Amino acid sequence: MASFIESTDLFDMAEQYPFSDVHFWRDPETQLQAIIAIHSTKLGPAIGGCRMIDYPSTHAAIKDACCLAAGMSYKTAINRLPFGGGKAVILKPKHLIDRKALFSSFGRFVESLNGRYITAMDSGTTIADMDVIASQTNHVMCTTTAGLASGDPSPHTAKGVYYGIKAAVKFKLERESLAGLHIAIQGVGNVGYALAKLLHNDGAKLTVADPNPIATQRLINEFGADVVVGDDIYAINCDVFSPCALGQVINAHSIAQFNTSIIAGSANNQLKSPDMTDALAARNILYAPDYVINSGGVLQISYLNKPDVVQHKLAALYDTLLAIFTQAEQQNSSTVNIANGLAEKILAGVNDE
Ligand code: NAD
């Protein structure tokens, strides 16, 4: 995660997002156009979700896969898990004809990599899709019964984000409790909804934004949340802004509007570019690095059938993030630099423990 140079050349991109290998799969019969990027298999097979979303170009899809794969390597490393980092993206067909056939073909793609990559659920894919993939390969998680049958990771991701928010509130606001705090959540899908429930139970006041009216209505009904439309969520005067929808939402446009002292949420790749950490520092906003705070799902998958260990590891994210915030302050550095340094040491085999 070095300095930022935009290029469409694959090997120039490799300087920016230093992947190990990128694989392409095209199956016109099923409409499948998919990319699997593997960042590292140093600590174990590369794990990472498969997302199926609209991409403006193949370049955008490759970049997304490579960025997300790197994030997975850092996420598994910082949690000292025996996995590397990878990610799959499917370019969403305009009119999908046979979803099952498409995911069967994707399963054959995963199988062709012989276990170097293990796939999972992500934006735009479901547990049912994972079950279809499992008909073609064992290298799949988040299924109901086959492969690594971990089900939906979202509640665990939400729990990790909840502990991360508590750590940020402790560090920045010197408060143990979330009662009475105002938290703005962008995106109340699988993770955002589960997070909202935890925050509401702790007495936090919620303001949310989501283009899906069913999702926002549920938040109004169940948690008495206020709802705002679109980008208005950035300017909400709140204690914590929690991005739980999209990547790259921390950018010059949003930073100018933020009215919060903490950003802590589940979305992957929240920073539009690495230098956004400087802009956040200038506004005195504490940022919880995304791949650390959103690692609850991967922790659950890594400790399948050990629910007590999972709960312990989720709670430990509080200490991990508190240590990152403290070190960043002591070293006059960004929280992202500190987290990256810790992860890179582990990836390089340096063991400080
Ligand atoms: P999801 O698809 O269930 O929910 C995302 C929600 O965001 C949807 O309700 C969608 O309508 C909403 N949304 C889309 N555009 C929006 C916008 N402009 N403003 C506000 N809301 C918008 O996804 P999820 O599983 O809840 O994941 C949320 C984020 O967390 C994603 O970025 C995902 O990559 C990341 N993440 C998820 C997990 C997990 O376990 N599910 C793990 C790690 C990271």
Distance CA 55, CA 62 (A): 10
Q: Which of 18, 90, 286, 69 is nearest to 174 (CA)?
A: 286
Dump pLDDT digits (tens) for 326-340: 999 999 999 999 999
Instruction: Measure 195 CA to ligand 1 centroid, in angstroms.
Output: 12
Structure tokens at 236: 């909400």
Dump pLDDT digits (tens) for 244-285: 998 899 999 999 999 999 999 999 999 999 999 999 999 999
Residue with tokens 């504490």: 286
> Is 156:297 a contact under the CB 8 Å cutoff?
yes
How many helices and strands (H and E) does the chain possess? 13, 12
Measured CA to CA in angstroms, residue 16 lies from 47, 66, 73, 258 at distances of 20, 9, 15, 28
Query: Is the per-residue pLDDT at 1 higher than 80?
Result: no
If you take atom 41 of ligand 1, which residue's CA is the nearest one? 154
Query: Is the per-residue pLDDT at 325 higher than 70?
Result: yes
Q: Are strands 46-47 and 84-91 parallel, antiparallel or unpaired?
A: parallel
Coil vs helix vs strand at 59: helix
Ligand 1 binding site (Cβ under 6 Å of any ligand atom): 122-123, 153-154, 157, 186-192, 209-212, 215, 244-246, 266-268, 294, 297
Instruction: Measure 268 CA to ligand 1 centroid, in angstroms.
Output: 9
Query: Is the per-residue pLDDT at 4 higher than 90?
Result: no
CA-based R_g, the chain, Å = 19
154-347 carries CATH number 3.40.50.10470? no
Distance CA 291, CA 277 (A): 15
Dump pLDDT digits (tens) for 220-252: 999 999 999 999 999 999 999 999 998 899 999
Number of residues assigned to the chain: 353
What is the DSSP secondary structure assignment for residue 56, as one 8-state letter? Answer: S
Residue type present at position 56: P
Distance CA 215, CA 217 (A): 6
* Residue 147: band (very low, low, confident or very high) from pLDDT cuts 50, 70, 90: low
Average pLDDT over residues 179-184: 98
Nearest atom in ligand 1 to 265's CA: 30
Choices 3.30.2000.10, 2.40.30.270, 3.40.50.10860, 3.30.300.30: CATH for 2-133: 3.40.50.10860
Instruction: Measure 188 CA to ligand 1 centroid, in angstroms.
Output: 7
If you take atom 33 of ligand 1, which residue's CA is the nearest one? 267
* Residue 2: band (very low, low, confident or very high) from pLDDT cuts 50, 70, 90: very low
Coil vs helix vs strand at 234: helix
Residue with tokens 């002591």: 330
Query: Is the per-residue pLDDT at 13 higher than 90?
Result: no
Spans of all domains in the chain: 2-133, 154-347
Residue 87 is among the residues annotated as catalytic for this protein: yes
Distance CA 261, CA 188 (A): 21
Dump pLDDT digits (tens) for 190-219: 999 999 999 999 999 999 999 999 999 999
Least confident of 3-12, 88-97, 311-320: 3-12
